[in-house]
Amino acid sequence: MDTKYIFVTGGVVSSLGKGIIAASLACLLKARGFRVTIQKFDPYINVDPGTLNPYEHGECYVTADGQETDLDLGHYERFTNVHTSRANNVTTGRIYQSVIEKERRGDYLGKTVQIVPHITDEIKRRVKYLGTTGQYDFIITEIGGVVGDIESLPFLEAVRQLRWELGTDSLCVHLTYVPYIAAAKELKTKPTQHSVKSLQELGIQPDVLVLRTEKEIPADVRRKIALFCNVEPDCVVQSRDVNSIYKVPLKMHEQHLDEIVLRKTHTPAQTEPHMEPWMDFVHRLDSATETVTIGLVGKYVELQDAYKSISEALLHAATYADHKLNLVYIHSEKLTDENVGERLADMDGVIIAPGFGHRGIDGKFVALKWCREHDVPTFGICLGMQCMVIEFARNVLGLADAHSTEMNPLTPHNVIDLMEEQKNISNMGGTMRLGAYDCALRPGSKAAEAYGSTLVSERHRHRFEFNNDYRERFEAAGMQCVGENPAAKLVEVVEMPEKRWFIGTQYHPEYSSTVLAPSPIFRSFVNAAITYHNEKENK
């Protein structure tokens, strides 16, 4: 079959969950046996989100092939269990960068380079790129931002042209918001009508409307919206708030969103979607009665999107262990030796978060010392692993000034140091050690046991590493380097075998945890936390 292109746009307000709707549709199409990928086009000028801090844009997600991307790509992978790649996230910055490079090369000699057609042509080329690989039946393209934004105009113009070119091989799903005005006791459709009008003014007629709402939208209101917006009545679908994003695919299927998409793109439907494994997950989510409490020590606690992949990976692990997840965000800047006992007392397990820079790092050391001394299951991820190493060097090896050269370039004990290949790098964008690398695990280690394997591949995002000069001293004192990259001999995993569960990974296993393939090391950590919880209960 010809590749079908589905565009997902958003109106009225941002944060409606376009990414979740795109991912849910992909999940259903995948469960019907189609080959699906989702890509995100972001209207900002940064070439990628790697240089944005989480306050700007939430977590930076990393693909296996080493692209720093928008966090929606994390949802795409978690919902479809299919890897995304550097081609799946394109920004205005990247589009302009390639057009300007072409101009300098002389590709447009003699011509004035303009937004239409040069920028829009580059957008179209990138929208269609994954389709040219022959690997996909459906390419879902989410356009970041809200219709009406200045920044997204070239993207929407490209969508208009593509719809014209592709005909029924393309489709536009528009997500809007239907507010409930409590004083009037009414759901209001006007913002949706206006938002569709804005799209129509740009030459795009949406085929399907998905309405985000807190209350049930009655059929007559949906019919009214269909009438005003030139959309078939059954193509107005509501997306009511649910208590888990993982229920959204099931809610969309109940309203036949996947069938509508197949019908409108003239795609024969072979079967009903095979959603049983997904439904099993959702059933476990709903029926768990016991709770596991995990503390996440980090500096972005007021902003939960900063640790999205970690919280989702924990949820996957807890759900498969038939437990509810109680995730407690603990502000590392507020932890002191005086309050740590009280703050961490109820935790069944503690995660020390990844991060950059000095802020909040002392609280991570405080938490780690307490967890190590009280033998609480503890998981350090990236900077969290590096902090594990530093805390151990200071308080067990007696190297009082040990540090990472990221925080203190003059430390006499640089137990964490800049990687050799990073020493001559001056550009900040896209230059870290990024993406999936192999890690060989020591047979018999807890980490190897967790994975059920001695060779794994996980994703990275760092510049600093464990300093191998100190390796023997760590191992002799009880912190083992049980994972290393076979080619570079870079330490990937440290663990303290005599503890219940005390493991740090230089890599980020959270990026590869999906609903249908939860991360083995997160599962092992959460299981250890549950065991510890039960031990405490039975004391």
Active site residues: 382, 508, 510
> Which residue's CB is nearer to ligand GLN, number 129 or number 356?
356
Helix intervals (H) in 13-113: 18-31, 54-57, 72-80, 92-105
> Which residue's CB is nearer to ligand GLN, number 41 or number 507?
507
Cβ contact 354:381 at 8 Å: yes
* Smallest distance from ligand GLN to CB 388, Å: 12
- The interface with ligand GLN within residues 331-360 (CB under 6 A) comprises 354-356
* Smallest distance from ligand GLN to CB 464, Å: 3
CA distances for 301 relative to 70, 317, 388, 397, angstroms: 19, 21, 20, 31
Residue of the chain from 75, 78, 264, 462 that contacts ligand GLN (CB under 6 A): 462
Residue 408 interacting with ligand GLN (CB under 6 A): no
Cβ contact 513:485 at 8 Å: no
Q: Collapsing DSSP states into helix, strand and coil, what is residue 172?
A: strand
* Smallest distance from ligand GLN to CB 140, Å: 29
x-marked contacts with ligand GLN along 256-275 as a string, rule CB under 6 A: --------------------
Distance of alpha carbon 368 from alpha carbon 362, whole angstroms: 10
> Which residue's CB is nearer to ligand GLN, number 103 or number 333?
333
Residue of the chain from 163, 403, 446, 461 that contacts ligand GLN (CB under 6 A): 461
Distance of alpha carbon 205 from alpha carbon 227, whole angstroms: 13
* Smallest distance from ligand GLN to CB 508, Å: 7
Distance of alpha carbon 127 from alpha carbon 88, whole angstroms: 9
> Which residue's CB is nearer to ligand GLN, number 262 or number 416?
416
> Which residue's CB is nearer to ligand GLN, number 370 or number 464?
464
> Which residue's CB is nearer to ligand GLN, number 354 or number 435?
354
Residue 417 interacting with ligand GLN (CB under 6 A): no
Strands (E), 415-479: 416-418, 433-441, 455-462, 464-466
> Which residue's CB is nearer to ligand GLN, number 461 or number 533?
461
Distance of alpha carbon 349 from alpha carbon 478, whole angstroms: 20
* Smallest distance from ligand GLN to CB 474, Å: 18
Selected range binding ligand GLN among 10-18, 36-44, 212-220, 460-468, rule: CB under 6 A:
460-468
Burial of 385 (0-12, 13-18, 19+ CB in 10 A): buried
Indicate if the alpha-carbon torsion angle 95, 99, 104, 107 is positive or negative.
positive
- The interface with ligand GLN within residues 373-392 (CB under 6 A) comprises 382-383
Supply the angle between the helices 219-229 and 190-201 in degrees, to the nearest 10.
20
Of 250, 211, 253, 248, the residue nearest 233 (C-alpha): 211
Cβ contact 155:164 at 8 Å: no
Selected range binding ligand GLN among 96-104, 126-134, 459-467, 479-487, rule: CB under 6 A:
459-467
Selected range binding ligand GLN among 47-55, 249-257, 335-343, 462-470, rule: CB under 6 A:
462-470
Indicate if the alpha-carbon torsion angle 189, 195, 201, 207 is positive or negative.
negative
> Which residue's CB is nearer to ligand GLN, number 262 or number 383?
383
> Which residue's CB is nearer to ligand GLN, number 203 or number 357?
357
Distance of alpha carbon 409 from alpha carbon 404, whole angstroms: 7
Residue found by looking up tokens 């290393």 in the block: 484
Selected range binding ligand GLN among 25-33, 104-112, 162-170, 456-464, rule: CB under 6 A:
456-464
Within 10 angstroms of residue 184's Cβ, the number of other Cβ atoms is 8
* Smallest distance from ligand GLN to CB 432, Å: 6
* Smallest distance from ligand GLN to CB 505, Å: 10
* Smallest distance from ligand GLN to CB 386, Å: 6
Indicate if the alpha-carbon torsion angle 133, 135, 139, 143 is positive or negative.
negative
Residue 406 interacting with ligand GLN (CB under 6 A): yes
* Smallest distance from ligand GLN to CB 60, Å: 9
CA distances for 287 relative to 59, 62, 444, 532, angstroms: 30, 32, 35, 22
- The interface with ligand GLN within residues 421-440 (CB under 6 A) comprises none
Residue 54 interacting with ligand GLN (CB under 6 A): no
Question: Any idea what DSSP says for residue 84?
Answer: -
Q: Collapsing DSSP states into helix, strand and coil, what is residue 348?
A: coil
Distance of alpha carbon 351 from alpha carbon 387, whole angstroms: 12
Question: Any idea what DSSP says for residue 432?
Answer: S
- The interface with ligand GLN within residues 463-492 (CB under 6 A) comprises 463-464
x-marked contacts with ligand GLN along 58-97 as a string, rule CB under 6 A: ----------------------------------------
Q: How many residues form the binding site for ligand GLN (CB under 6 A)?
A: 10
Which residues of this chain interact with ligand GLN, rule CB under 6 A?
Answer: 354-356, 382-383, 406, 461-464
